[in-house]
Chain A
Amino acid sequence: EDQVTQSPEALRLQEGESSSLNCSYTVSGLRGLFWYRQDPGKGPEFLFTLYSAGEEKEKERLKATLTKKESFLHITAPKPEDSATYLCAVRRATGGFKTIFGAGTRLFVKA
């Protein structure tokens, strides 16, 4: 069964304290792995798409990497405005458009 597991559930960092969020996945053929940011009471905001193992993408303080079993979202020198829930999702190569979301990691960055 296709599954996406994110860890940790919550992460508290001091401003400037770099860390990584993990997304482990099992899917029958990966079409794409996605990272989203969600602020409270709002819809998710698209961050990255990764398609194959070894791929990396960066945006400001965020860097996403992908292996055959997991993805990491590295946050370098975070700021309080990076506080949000980060969602990981996968779309499989077959079975239409369905995207499976993980439960998310709630990130808190303290000044």
Chain B
Amino acid sequence: GAVVSQHPSRVICKSGTSVKIECRSLDFQATTMFWYRQFPKQSLMLMATSNEGSKATYEQGVEKDKFLINHASLTLSTLTVTSAHPEDSSFYICSASPPRTYTYEQYFGPGTRLTVT
């Protein structure tokens, strides 16, 4: 099956610093990756769609200058949380879809738990 990895799995940072989270598709090329945020006992909230070689598409209400997304290759997308604040503490999950035209399922990474102190 399709495997997506994320790094780091957990990170603690101080308020005002920036944190980078990596998302990799290990056994397939992904022209599109997705970044989600999940609060405790709530569902996934799509933050942005990351497109290889072009700018990410952000969902309404998501600050593009705060959550920087870079999709530099067909297997790597990064999310940088800039000037992090305690309210940015959350579980961040990325996903990708294998490049087949007839299926649309997403494969998720294991998630990154961000804690801002």
Binding site for B on A (CB under 8 A): 31-32, 34, 36, 41-46, 49, 87, 91, 96-99, 101-104, 106
Contact = CB atoms under 8 A, between A and B. Distances in A.
Nearest to B59: A98
A98 B111 contact: no
A46 to B, nearest CB: 5
A15 B95 CA distance: 32
Nearest to A45: B108
B97 interface: yes
Interface in B99-117: 103-111, 113
Contact of B107 (A42, A46, A106): A46
B46 A99 contact: yes
Contacts of B111: 41-43
Main secondary structure of the interface of A (DSSP, over half): strand
Q: How many B residues touch the partner, as a band?
A: 20 to 34
Contacts of A49: 103-105
B108 A87 contact: no
A13 B89 CA distance: 33
Given A32-B105, A46-B106, A103-B42, 20 more contacts: A34-B104, A34-B106, A41-B91, A42-B111, A43-B6, A43-B93, A43-B108, A43-B111, A44-B93, A46-B107, A49-B104, A87-B43, A91-B104, A97-B32, A97-B97, A98-B49, A99-B104, A101-B43, A101-B44, A103-B43
- Of B41, B57, B93, most buried by chain A (CB within 10 Å of CB) is B41
Contact of A96 (B4, B49, B103, B105): B49
A98 B51 CA distance: 13
B67 interface: no
Nearest to B91: A41
23 contacts: A32-B104, A34-B104, A36-B108, A41-B113, A43-B4, A43-B6, A43-B95, A43-B110, A43-B111, A44-B108, A46-B1, A46-B107, A46-B108, A87-B43, A87-B44, A97-B32, A97-B34, A98-B49, A99-B34, A101-B44, A102-B43, A103-B43, A106-B41
